[in-house]
Amino acid sequence: MIDLTPRPLRLLEAYADGEAARHFTFAFEPRRDEPRGRPGQFFMLALPGVGEAAFTYVSTPDANGRFSALIRRTGSLTAALFALEAGAVLGYRGPFGRPWPELPATGRVLAVAGGCGLAPLAGLLEQAPERLALVYAARSRAHQVLGRERERWRARLRLIETLDQGEAGLPGGNPLTVVRQWLGEGEAPALVLSCGPEALMLAVARCCLEAGMAADRVWLSLERRMHCGVGLCGHCYIGASYACLDGPTYRYDDYLQLLAASGQVAAAALPPQPC
């Protein structure tokens, strides 16, 4: 039986983290033997009298039910959330969806994120080995997110940051140029993970195929309107797939098959093109 009743969730703290974005820390009372969540999954956050929406984890719940999330102010629900103070009680359901795959034991790994698309990758990056490289693209310094986390990652991983318009210390231009350079530096990567604007992710996937990678080694995190989280409302179809159940992380070859089976024509299905 599916239970759609949210459980109590307490807001512990929040701070500004990027343009119109805040970094929230929440906590709930954990239940015995329940799944805590894995990087790439999402949860449903309910504000009494306002509504409910899906958000991704930055850090997944620990043994005490404490976790964090990066949330942008985009509408009435997030505006109401931004107005709350520490101690406020909300509602929580989760974890939902399919997480990122396990990182391979050997081989290079590339993560590509755009804007707030860095958040779904954060939990994975916290535990990633040094052989992982991160390309992070944003419109400007003000639009960059997870500043505290990036400082930690920069000391341990290869972190390449780009801005739409160059600013002091950071190059401007297309992040795909950086991706292509990295792909050509050595052996083919064992895995590529991407999250951000869908056009960016699909372009990254095509770059990987153009470089000779197999489509089953590329993973994308696809954002859809997940209103229920359990495959009932039908708002998050990708082909014949529910993103809330089979995603939000999809292997690129599976994604292409979904498009082909549904007769959809998209840039993702076109032959690989130079980046």
Q: Would you say 208 is a known binding-site residue?
A: no
Q: What region does 266 belong to: left with phi over 0, alpha with psi -120 to 50, or beta?
A: beta
**Where is 198: in which H helix or E strand?**
helix 198-210
The SS3 assignment for 47 reads strand
Asked if residues 227 and 251 have their Cβ atoms less than 8 Å apart, the reply is no
Q: Would you say 207 is a known binding-site residue?
A: no
- 140 burial (CB, 10 Å; 0-12 / 13-18 / 19+) is middle
Nearest one of 94, 88, 3, 1 to 49, comparing CA atoms = 88
Q: Would you say 4 is a known binding-site residue?
A: no
Q: Would you say 233 is a known binding-site residue?
A: yes
List all residues 6 or more positions away from 3 whose beta carbon is below 8 Å from its beta carbon. none
Q: Would you say 228 is a known binding-site residue?
A: yes
Buried b (16+ CB within 10 A) or exposed e, 40-52: bbbbbbbbeeeeb
Show the tokens assigned to 126: 């916290």
Q: Which residues are annotated as a binding site for [2Fe-2S] cluster?
A: 228, 233, 236, 244
Q: Which residues are annotated as a binding site for FAD?
A: 70-72
Q: Which residues are annotated as a binding site?
A: 70-72, 228, 233, 236, 244
